[in-house]
Copies of this chain bind each other. A is one copy, B any other.
Amino acid sequence: MKIRTEVNINSEKQSNKLENLGRLLVKCPDKPGIVSVLSTFLHNQHANIVESSQYSSDPENGTFFIRIEFHCENLLEKATQIEKDFEGIADQHSMDFQFTYANERQRSAIFVSKEPHCLVELLWEWQNGDLDTDIVVVISNHEEARDMVEALGIPFHYIPANKDIRKQVEAEQIRLMEEYNVDLLILARYMQILTPDFVSRFENRIINIHHSFLPAFIGAGPYERAYDRGVKLIGATSHYVTNDLDEGPIIEQDVERVDHRDHVIDLKKIGRQIERRVLVKAVKWHLENRIIVENNKTIVFH
């Protein structure tokens, strides 16, 4: 699968656009003047704000969140100094903050079991220049996806898994995450449960796709249960993984209409389309640092 002519053009354009693009995420107690402080700081660094989104849980004594996207000449060279300069402001206003740089691409790992549709969609978007990440490794408890992954030059690791050997499986997975220096884990229909120890190593950095409209049909067999209940819409949910199964912060959801003629096999087919687009959206937003997690919910700055 080598449809890369246009891709390369896209990537070049993309990287020009991303060069010197920075993002600042801030969380702090809400009070008058914060936007002024931040925008003045950036202006003094000769940075131009190109996008800014904010949210306050309550203008009086609530928590304030802001995501600023800015452009700045020679950004990477100045980054260390900018971050250092910012520390005083952060202290003064009790800010949690994070600077990220668009052309320091995040490194992603994809975990997949037997059903390949979410993996295929992610790879396709990535080839197309639409996923701003390096996919550095694919891990599966089945061999089926190997050829497709390796054909794209991505390392594929087969790690058979079941609940009895969970500990040793995760040890190997963690070793690979370290070896490949992974920032983001994408569970693209990976049907194994992760232990609290594993999850805690990647807080708010594991994105799962659950094949139901959560909180309906938590756990196994959601399409079967949707069929039994006779729902008229089925859905999919992308969320960060926490230690409560399918209870993590929801990033995105979508649904499609079904009717009485749709058996479980039809729900699965229709559902695959939903899962594909819902997972890809969540991953894109994460890679663009658009998501803040607060109180097991997400603030997504579109």
Contacts and interface: CB of A to CB of B under 8 A. Distances in A.
Interface residues of A, number: 71
- Of the listed residues A2, A3, A43, A52, the one surrounded by the most CB atoms of chain B closer than 10 A to its CB is A3
Nearest to A272: B128
Interface stretch (A30-38, A93-101, A166-174): A30-38
A56 B50 contact: yes
B31 A35 contact: no
Contacts of A249: 230
Contact of A3 (B43, B116, B253): B116
A243 interface: no
A259 interface: yes
Interface string A237-262: 00000000000011111110001110
Contact of A43 (B36, B213, B230, B302): B36
Nearest to A276: B273
A71 interface: yes
A90 interface: no
A interface secondary structure, majority: mixed
A36 B42 contact: yes
A47 B32 contact: yes
A19 interface: no
Given A116-B3, A213-B233, A250-B229, A48 B36 contact: no
A39 B35 contact: yes
A76 interface: no
A175 interface: no
Nearest to A5: B144
B261 A55 contact: yes
A215 B229 contact: yes
A33 B277 CA distance: 37
Interface string A81-95: 000000000000000
Given A43-B32, A120-B124, A230 B216 contact: no
A102 interface: no
Given A230-B250, A273-B277, A297-B260, A3 B145 contact: yes
Contacts of A255: 233, 255
Interface of A: 1-3, 5-6, 30-33, 35-36, 39-40, 42-43, 46-56, 59, 71, 114-117, 120, 124, 128, 130, 144-145, 147-148, 151, 213-217, 229-233, 235, 249-255, 259-261, 269, 273, 277, 296-300, 302
21 contacts: A2-B148, A3-B116, A3-B145, A6-B114, A6-B144, A32-B43, A32-B49, A35-B35, A35-B39, A52-B54, A53-B53, A130-B269, A216-B216, A229-B250, A230-B250, A230-B298, A231-B250, A231-B253, A232-B253, A233-B255, A260-B300
Given A3-B144, A215-B216, A231-B250, 7 more contacts: A3-B116, A3-B148, A52-B52, A52-B54, A53-B53, A230-B250, A233-B253
